Structure 1
Amino acid sequence: MMRRNRFNQALVATILTGLALLPQLAFAQDGSKISADSKIRNIDGVAAVVNTGYVTRKEIDDRIVALQKQGGKLPDAAALRKTVLERLILEKIQLQNAEQEGVTVSNKELDQIIGDIAAKNKLTLAELKVKIATTGSTYDRYRQMLRDDVIISRYREREVEGKIKISDAEVDNFISDRNREVAGGGKSVRSTPAVKGEPEEIDVAQIFIPADANAGAGTQAEAKKKAELLLREARGDVDFLQLGAMAAKDNPKIKFQDLGYRTPDRLPQLFYEAIRNTGSGQVANAVVKSPAGYHVLKVLDRRALVAGAPEQQQAAPQESAITPQNIMVTQTLSRHILLRSRAGLTDQDAERRLAGYRDQVRAKTADFGDLAKKYSEDGSAANGGNLGWMGPGDLVPEFDQAMNRLQIDEVSNPVKTEFGWHLIQVLERRKAQLTLEKQRQFAREAIRERKFDQAYQDWLRELRDTATVKIINADDPAASPR
């Protein structure tokens, strides 16, 4: 049950929520009904020419309608139309470049992804098709939208994440920073604060929970709920970036990063307004909502701006000499009963069997360990399903997330992972020192997350700047009704 590689996690997390695309489909043009004549667009219907393709005003209209259906706060009509157009242009450019680079998704892969979406939402393929039909679109159109989404994800993985470089020196510095925080009693070492009215620099960290502007109201509400839960946890005695790392392991779409020391004018305005009166070591009072999603913010430090000082002030030599074994993590001792996925065992049968074992344990008519020895289908069965002490990232996200929600001695409901169906019981938890190897692994992941956002935005700007784009008429709605 070790972790999948990072990209596979991100792809699964993105695609398995594929039903969130359904609200869009109600407004998406039905690709199966486009006639040959309609492919030759009147120039008045084209909003922008993008290399050898185009974005139509109808596409902009449909995307705006989808956003309005979600009921969230939107900018004024002109700004919204401009934002939607830019997003569509970037999508077109990425798909065009991916095609030129040979990034594809086979029909077999797409069928497997759709099968996973149906299973995740406890639907048969036939039921999924019916649900798609209720949106006013078609199954063929749904397949095409998913195919585009996967292609863009794979292209981005190759072009952005695969090119992020992390030096050993960066890893060493990250570990030293975290150790100084531990040495300060779990709080960041404070710098000299600025006198009131004098210029200052603020070190802000964020945990970002994306909520795509095109996602449905349910997806938006779920993202907000997750952000508010993380905000409550961040107010406790926890390492903020470690909290972000654990959240990202549960859902790889979640990002966390230390923005580093910045003057107020170099912070996003939304961020600065939220932390204007927040002291060092404190989290913002509320979750911050942006067009991209929800942000949980913490002020790691505030310091006086020293003229001519380097962007990242150096720590005192005695601070950097702290041993790396100080970083602590929560480890969990758990056991499980596994029913492996196999021919002849349906999901419904596996859930029913495990629910029966769960009810026996809760009623104290059977011992969990005895049931594991008798029924579990993995190597831990001989030990009563005992998995040993596991830390953050040691288990696949679905298992890890379910396990972390349990209290001591509590038994979970059936949980599905790539290995099959599990029943989980937590036996004990403890604080343990993170080994040097684990620290370096954690540090690399945290630095990668920190670098990704900037690298991704730079990449998008480069794509946009090198593309041939001509805006024709994006201000007016499409001339003809749908």
Structure 2
Amino acid sequence: MMHRNRFNQALAAMMLAGAALLSQFAFAQDSTKTSSDSKIRNIDGVAAVVNTGYVTRKEIDDRIAALQKQGTKLPDAATVRKTVLERLILEKIQVQNAELEGLAVSNKELDKIVGDIAAKNKLTIAELKVKIAATGSTYERYRELLRDDIVISRYREREVEGKIKISDAEIDNFIADRNREVAGAGKVARSTPAAKGEPEEIDVAQIFIPADASAGVGAQAEAKKKAESLLRDARGDVDFLQLGAMAAKDNPKIKFQDLGYRTPDRLPQLFYEAIRNIGSGQVANAVVKSPAGYHVLKVLDRRALMASASVPQQAAPQENAASTPQNIMVTQTLSRHILLRSRTGLTDQDAERRLAGFRDQIRSKTVDFGELAKKYSEDGSAANGGNLGWMGPGDLVPEFDQAMNRLQIGEVSNPVKTEFGWHLIQVLERREAQLTLEKQRQFARAAIRERKFEQAYQDWLRELRDTATVKIINADDPAASPR
């Protein structure tokens, strides 16, 4: 029941998109949907015709104004207008194609999502409407912008995921690489470094926390805070890609990938500057900020360019020594919980207050957690005192998993809300465990997919742009007057 599934991930992505939209709503652009009346407008106001729709110069102005208000460092006016126009064109194409594919969000579903966003921001619907009105816009406009954002997100996820192909050989190679790490006592065998002045290849991995340049100040600050937290964790004795996988489970928008061996000229300039003087196995000194968000970087290996051909032969003996697929290690947690299900007649405030009372009793040692779970938990685990058994990364829904991972052994959480209701959590024990063969293959597939996603996404955007009918009319001049 509490295990993660694709619907949960999609819902989490929608929630995050809606919360970000709320934080930047004061700068919201005009919706991609327009009435038939608004289409009969002076052609001077149109910057580009996109299939059967268009992008206005006013939309470009609004987007640039939002960036300026956030203090974003922008290039010259002509360059920024061209960049913003291309972004708006791509958004327009995605909305149009999604609608042609029949992707839609019903009013009932949208009501539920808006309600969840309001709750996440500790607002009632009435308070949310007041907050939106204070930006000078309307609640109806907010709903339409959110509807388009969700449709684009679902369309992108469906189309890009379908383009990612992962072979059994790739999975086998990934597992073999991880097994070689274990055979080397957790240390990756380093290649022969390049001599000073000789050409080299660098294997860089990244954890990417998206924060679009048009996002609000609050969303930008939250993304930066998350990136800096991951950077601190990455400096410890942890598997960098596993750290990225765990972060992505908490927030499906976070991406992690091994970029593979690249010569410096094939790395993004921002990345190369950050890791230029970093040795193998070391993390960049600071988070890297790009127009798309924040990047945590680690140099997995550096090797002489001419030595690359010999690496497979050097690695072969280790691979044979660790060929049994039993070596990918993960941290498992043994925990128990008390669940009060969401239901009519039990408000969030009542459930939270009730569990807080249980928490205080447990902490004062006047009552046993397991006895309370047997008596009050509304879950199948109640008979076992709320014991959930050993759980690994991704086995539980994100809110529960994140709260549980923050607890020390024996510690009891504050009340935690998930889609199932309200929980009180206690961690009993932790251990390092080997993944089963099936779990290893699932882990490997997910990691490889994350590596491939960004490239597939960029290829997909180029394909959309190339197949659309776009005519640039006048993007250089600002709009003559407000809409």
TM-score, L = length of structure 1: 0.95
DSSP-derived class of the 1:26 partner = helix
Between the aligned partners of 2:462 and 2:404, the Cα distance in structure 1 is: 41
| One-letter identity of the residue aligned with 1:336 | H
| One-letter identity of the residue aligned with 1:228 | E
Give 1:5 shift.
Answer: 2.6
Corresponding residue for 2:379? Answer: 378
Is the contact between residue 333 and residue 387 of structure 1 (CA under 8 Å) also seen in structure 2?
A: yes
Structure 1 residue ranges without an equivalent (≥5): none
Corresponding residue for 1:82? Answer: 82
Is the contact between residue 335 and residue 429 of structure 2 (CA under 8 Å) also seen in structure 1?
A: yes
Give 1:387 shift.
Answer: 1.0
Between the aligned partners of 1:467 and 1:91, the Cα distance in structure 2 is: 12
Between the aligned partners of 1:414 and 1:299, the Cα distance in structure 2 is: 39
Between the aligned partners of 1:328 and 1:30, the Cα distance in structure 2 is: 49
Between the aligned partners of 1:287 and 1:37, the Cα distance in structure 2 is: 48
Most deviating of 153-162 and 3-12: 3-12
Deviations 1:310-344 (A, max 9, x none): 9x856632222212212211111111110011111
Task: Rate the CA distance shift 1:356–1:257 in 2: closer, same or farther, 3 A.
Answer: same
Corresponding residue for 1:347? Answer: 348
DSSP-derived class of the 2:414 partner = coil
Most deviating of 439-448 and 182-191: 182-191
Is the contact between residue 192 and residue 307 of structure 2 (CA under 8 Å) also seen in structure 1?
A: no
Deviations 1:332-362 (A, max 9, x none): 1111110011111111111110111111112
Is the contact between residue 410 and residue 427 of structure 2 (CA under 8 Å) also seen in structure 1?
A: yes
Task: Rate the CA distance shift 1:448–1:390 in 2: closer, same or farther, 3 A.
Answer: same
Task: Rate the CA distance shift 1:204–1:461 in 2: closer, same or farther, 3 A.
Answer: same
CA RMSD of aligned residues (A): 2.1
Structure 2 residue ranges without an equivalent (≥5): none
**Equivalent runs, 1:169-180 vs 2, <5 Å:** 169-180=169-180
| One-letter identity of the residue aligned with 2:227 | A
Corresponding residue for 1:461? Answer: 462
Deviations 1:354-385 (A, max 9, x none): 11111111222222112111111111112211
| One-letter identity of the residue aligned with 1:387 | L
DSSP-derived class of the 1:449 partner = helix
Between the aligned partners of 2:392 and 2:163, the Cα distance in structure 1 is: 28
Give 1:19 shift.
Answer: 3.4
Between the aligned partners of 1:5 and 1:101, the Cα distance in structure 2 is: 24
Give 1:17 shift.
Answer: 4.9
Corresponding residue for 1:259? Answer: 259
Corresponding residue for 1:184? Answer: 184
Is the contact between residue 58 and residue 482 of structure 2 (CA under 8 Å) also seen in structure 1?
A: no
DSSP-derived class of the 1:413 partner = coil
Between the aligned partners of 1:406 and 1:308, the Cα distance in structure 2 is: 44
Is the contact between residue 201 and residue 262 of structure 1 (CA under 8 Å) also seen in structure 2?
A: yes
Most deviating of 34-43 and 468-477: 34-43
| One-letter identity of the residue aligned with 2:306 | V
Most deviating of 30-39 and 156-165: 30-39
Corresponding residue for 2:480? Answer: 479
Between the aligned partners of 2:97 and 2:18, the Cα distance in structure 1 is: 23
Corresponding residue for 1:409? Answer: 410
Is the contact between residue 10 and residue 251 of structure 1 (CA under 8 Å) also seen in structure 2?
A: no
Between the aligned partners of 1:203 and 1:29, the Cα distance in structure 2 is: 40
| One-letter identity of the residue aligned with 2:222 | E
**Equivalent runs, 1:235-274 vs 2, <5 Å:** 235-274=235-274
Between the aligned partners of 2:128 and 2:271, the Cα distance in structure 1 is: 40
TM-score, L = length of structure 2: 0.95
Corresponding residue for 1:304? Answer: 304
DSSP-derived class of the 2:326 partner = helix
Between the aligned partners of 1:116 and 1:315, the Cα distance in structure 2 is: 54
1:26 maps onto 2:7 in alignment: no
Between the aligned partners of 1:109 and 1:392, the Cα distance in structure 2 is: 29
**Equivalent runs, 1:30-429 vs 2, <5 Å:** 37-306=37-306, 309=309, 313=312, 316-321=315-320, 322=322, 323-429=324-430
Between the aligned partners of 2:222 and 2:356, the Cα distance in structure 1 is: 26
Give 1:438 shift.
Answer: 1.0
Give 1:23 shift.
Answer: 5.0
Between the aligned partners of 1:119 and 1:259, the Cα distance in structure 2 is: 38
Is the contact between residue 181 and residue 187 of structure 1 (CA under 8 Å) also seen in structure 2?
A: yes
% of aligned pairs identical? 87
Between the aligned partners of 2:332 and 2:11, the Cα distance in structure 1 is: 27
DSSP-derived class of the 2:64 partner = helix
Between the aligned partners of 1:378 and 1:481, the Cα distance in structure 2 is: 56
DSSP-derived class of the 1:303 partner = strand
Between the aligned partners of 1:216 and 1:308, the Cα distance in structure 2 is: 44
Between the aligned partners of 2:396 and 2:33, the Cα distance in structure 1 is: 46
Corresponding residue for 1:13? Answer: 13
Is the contact between residue 23 and residue 135 of structure 1 (CA under 8 Å) also seen in structure 2?
A: no
Q: Say how many residue pairs are matched.
A: 481
Between the aligned partners of 2:441 and 2:308, the Cα distance in structure 1 is: 32
Between the aligned partners of 1:33 and 1:3, the Cα distance in structure 2 is: 37
DSSP-derived class of the 1:54 partner = strand
| One-letter identity of the residue aligned with 2:453 | F
**Equivalent runs, 1:436-455 vs 2, <5 Å:** 436-455=437-456
Between the aligned partners of 2:315 and 2:334, the Cα distance in structure 1 is: 39
Between the aligned partners of 1:181 and 1:96, the Cα distance in structure 2 is: 47
Most deviating of 465-474 and 260-269: 465-474
Is the contact between residue 11 and residue 150 of structure 1 (CA under 8 Å) also seen in structure 2?
A: no
DSSP-derived class of the 1:298 partner = strand
Between the aligned partners of 1:352 and 1:397, the Cα distance in structure 2 is: 22
